[in-house]
Structure 1
Amino acid sequence: MRARPWGWWRESPSSPSSARQRSGRYADVGRTLHPGAWWLWALALGTAATRTTNPLLLTLLITVSAYVVATRRPDTPWSRSYSAFVKLALAVLLIRLLFATFLGSPIPGTHTLLTLPEVGLPAWAQGIRLGGEVTAEALAFALYDGLKLATLLICVGAANALASPSRLLKSLPGALYEMGVAVVVALTFAPSLIADVRRLRAARRLRGRPDKGVRGLLQVGLPVLEGALERSVSLAAAMDARGYGRTAQVPAAVRRTTAALTLGGLLGVCAGTYGLLTAEGATYGIPVLLTGLAAALAGLRLGGRRSLRTRYRPDRWDVRAWLVVASGVAVAALLALAAARDPAALHPGVVPLVAPALPLWPAAAVLLGLLPAFVAPDPKEPS
């Protein structure tokens, strides 16, 4: 009888170690939430932020998103982008306050904080001033308005920190497959290009050669460019071997219907979004937005017939994803309802200048956004 080699049990399909290895391959899918659920949750919180200028509610929205990011953010390079969005939001808020200070504000005020030297402008620039009186009412209005935009940016940063961009783009419909692949390639190769520059500069420093200045940049840039071209050729060969760009034949009527649904749906989404952001279009904004979304999704589904592809280990949309999306939608819907019923509470006035109050039930509605911190899987836990 032929002797078995040493360690044959490690390769046995029925051994416990092999079972653990097979389960570990798919454990990452079970421990992560669908990236689309995170984006829908974050966009719903951003929509809720556009419904109010109350700084207490906006601060509560920022706190909710920050807590969810702190508890459910994976330990990956792209997940560290949340701090960059927070810094960008702070910069936007500071710029808004500086504009109100130096360029003035249309809000009248009686509480003068300081008086800057005013620069005289020609007659064609009427309505614009540089310097002059800076009132507390104008700064409060600028603070409320800038904080709303900052909250929206932080919500988008939360989506970027929680959802993998490559997994999100791989989950796109078949009609957007080519665009998704292009963006995935760009997102994948940009970090590798930066890593190559750092690696080559470190190697030159270890050899005692200059890595700064024009000479160092030229000597580092040539190997980096050569490596990028080699990866591009390898990627093109791999994509060609896998049939990239191959499409199926569909009837002309289906193509025309797809184009009409997609274009009409996008126009409906733009019109509905504009209606939600303006006070005059609040009545027609939601119906037009929902109709546009339905038409666009139908067009994308029809357009997916031209794409012949399969997905390896697709992300599952399970009950937890529905709960995460429902929590964000509930926050947006309840704040929109509160803005329609009690606009004074969600939009505190600045003339006369009064301290904003925290409305109780809209604040409780914002706390519903904390649900993902308890129902979403924790990517830091071992499988």
Structure 2
Amino acid sequence: MQQRARLQHPAAWWLWGLGLATAASRTTNPVLLLLVIGVCVLVVTERRDPATVNPLPAFLVIGAVIVAFRVVMTALLGNGIAGQTVLVTLPRVPLPEWAASVRLGGPVMLESLLYAVYDALRLAAVLTCLGAANALASPRRLLRYLPATLYDVGTAVVVGLTFAPQLLTDARQVRAARTLRGRDGRGVREMARLTVPVLETAFERSLGLAASMESRGYGRVVRSTVGTRRTATALALTGLVGVLAGLYGLLDASAGGVLGLPVLVLGALIAASSLVVGASRDPRSGHRRDRWSWTESMTVVAGSAPGVVLVVASVLGWVGLVPSQRATLPAVPLLAVVAVLVAAAPAWFTPRPREVAA
């Protein structure tokens, strides 16, 4: 069924991106990682709002720089991975005795470079997933759905995201005005002279914003009982401990093993309950909220599928999830490939964003 053009709920896209990022963080198989990057590019190409700036290319460039930098540093300094295939031998630079454990130059092993490429490609894939979520749903839209407990923090972040770019515009205007008055506008001293007028403009704008927000009821005091505050604080601390323990169990299989994911989910639920308890004393209304339909639910399921499959696969030790550093195509788990391809389904069944008028 063809969906009417609308913007999908931002929380659905961010949960989708976090699920893919979780899947990418659990493997170093280059085939799976490149497949994750391709899925992100496909979904962003099909479902990004054309009226907004696409930040995904910047994340792709950063990922490529990370891979190249890791390869260069591994070739110069090595990474402790023993190998048998020597690609090239660089001139060795002698170092003092206190740096005997560090080498600069020498033989460059194929196995060492493959390990560096696989590990850096994993970080690049995670960054691509976050960039895709940022391209599909701006963090500014997501901040609107923070619970009332985090309302003040969300307001400060939104104000910062809105007015921080304006500082650059003010600096350009002041510099242009000084240039018209015969000033060069270059150098450290000239840049320092831009500080006072730019900050003065920012202060005036902030005072005007504060006055307008106060006239609309922002900053009102909400009365809450001592029991409610203590309950919310205890739940928040317990949930934070659970989240940290779960993350440690997921990152180190010997510490938690298969219990890492359940502990992480339980800690997240407890932390979320603390926000619910705190928000129960502070009801707030919303304006033009995005609706949550079956497409949002299916998007979250599609993004969670690869994360769940690859977390379970890493715990069970599937063959090919962490390939060996050999000059051969690594084995690729078929179920993992299918799970990553499922994450591309939102490119077709989700509603198209608003179309830009020709």
Same fold (TM over 0.5): yes
**Runs of 5+ in structure 1 lacking a partner?**
1-28
Structure 1 residues 119-178: Cα deviation after superposition (integer angstroms, max 9, x where no partner): 344444453322221100000000000100110111111111111222111110111101
Note if 1:213 corresponds to 2:186: yes
User: 1:294–1:187: structure 2 CA closer, same or farther, 3 Å change rule?
Assistant: same
Note if 1:99 corresponds to 2:52: no
Taking the aligned partners of 1:237 and 1:347, their CA distance within structure 2 comes to 57
Q: Give the one of 147, 162, 165 matched to 1:188.
A: 162
- Contact persistence 2:174–2:194 (CA under 8 A): yes
Note if 1:257 corresponds to 2:231: yes
- Contact persistence 2:51–2:356 (CA under 8 A): no
Q: Any residues of structure 2 matched to 1:1-383 within 5 Å, and which?
A: 31-77=6-52, 79-198=53-172, 212-214=185-187, 217=191, 223-280=197-254, 281-341=256-316, 343-350=318-325, 352-381=326-355
- So what's the TM-score if we normalise by structure 2? 0.90
- Quote how far apart the aligned CAs of 1:253 are: 1.7
Taking the aligned partners of 1:209 and 1:377, their CA distance within structure 2 comes to 54
- Quote how far apart the aligned CAs of 1:45 are: 0.3
Letter in 1 for 2:186: G
Taking the aligned partners of 1:74 and 1:195, their CA distance within structure 2 comes to 25
Structure 1 residues 302-322: Cα deviation after superposition (integer angstroms, max 9, x where no partner): 111343532212222222111
- Quote how far apart the aligned CAs of 1:67 are: 0.8
**Runs of 5+ in structure 2 lacking a partner?**
none
User: 1:268–1:232: structure 2 CA closer, same or farther, 3 Å change rule?
Assistant: same
Letter in 2 for 1:346: L
Letter in 1 for 2:28: T
Q: Any idea what SS the aligned residue of 1:113 has? A: strand
Structure 1 residues 159-211: Cα deviation after superposition (integer angstroms, max 9, x where no partner): 11111222111110111101100100000002222233445556777x59657
- Contact persistence 1:171–1:315 (CA under 8 A): no
- So what's the TM-score if we normalise by structure 1? 0.84
- Contact persistence 2:7–2:354 (CA under 8 A): no
Structure 1 residues 2-53: Cα deviation after superposition (integer angstroms, max 9, x where no partner): xxxxxxxxxxxxxxxxxxxxxxxxxxx9711111111111011000001111
Taking the aligned partners of 1:358 and 1:202, their CA distance within structure 2 comes to 58
Taking the aligned partners of 2:33 and 2:55, their CA distance within structure 1 comes to 21
Taking the aligned partners of 2:338 and 2:293, their CA distance within structure 1 comes to 26
- Quote how far apart the aligned CAs of 1:112 are: 0.6
Higher relative contact order (CA 8 A, sep 6+): 2
Structure 1 residues 217-262: Cα deviation after superposition (integer angstroms, max 9, x where no partner): 4676555433322210111112222333323222212211101111
Letter in 1 for 2:91: P
- Quote how far apart the aligned CAs of 1:347 are: 1.2
Taking the aligned partners of 1:366 and 1:354, their CA distance within structure 2 comes to 22
- Contact persistence 2:83–2:111 (CA under 8 A): yes
- Contact persistence 1:211–1:220 (CA under 8 A): no
- Quote how far apart the aligned CAs of 1:87 are: 1.5
Superposition RMSD on alpha carbons, in Å? Answer: 2.5
The structure with the larger Rg is: 1
The aligned length equals 352
Taking the aligned partners of 1:248 and 1:180, their CA distance within structure 2 comes to 17
Taking the aligned partners of 1:154 and 1:306, their CA distance within structure 2 comes to 39
- Contact persistence 2:319–2:333 (CA under 8 A): no
Letter in 2 for 1:91: V
**More off after superposition, 87-96 vs 135-144:** 87-96
- Quote how far apart the aligned CAs of 1:75 are: 3.0
- Contact persistence 1:50–1:277 (CA under 8 A): no
**More off after superposition, 359-368 vs 244-253:** 244-253
- Contact persistence 2:319–2:331 (CA under 8 A): no
Letter in 2 for 1:274: Y
Q: Any idea what SS the aligned residue of 1:191 has? A: helix
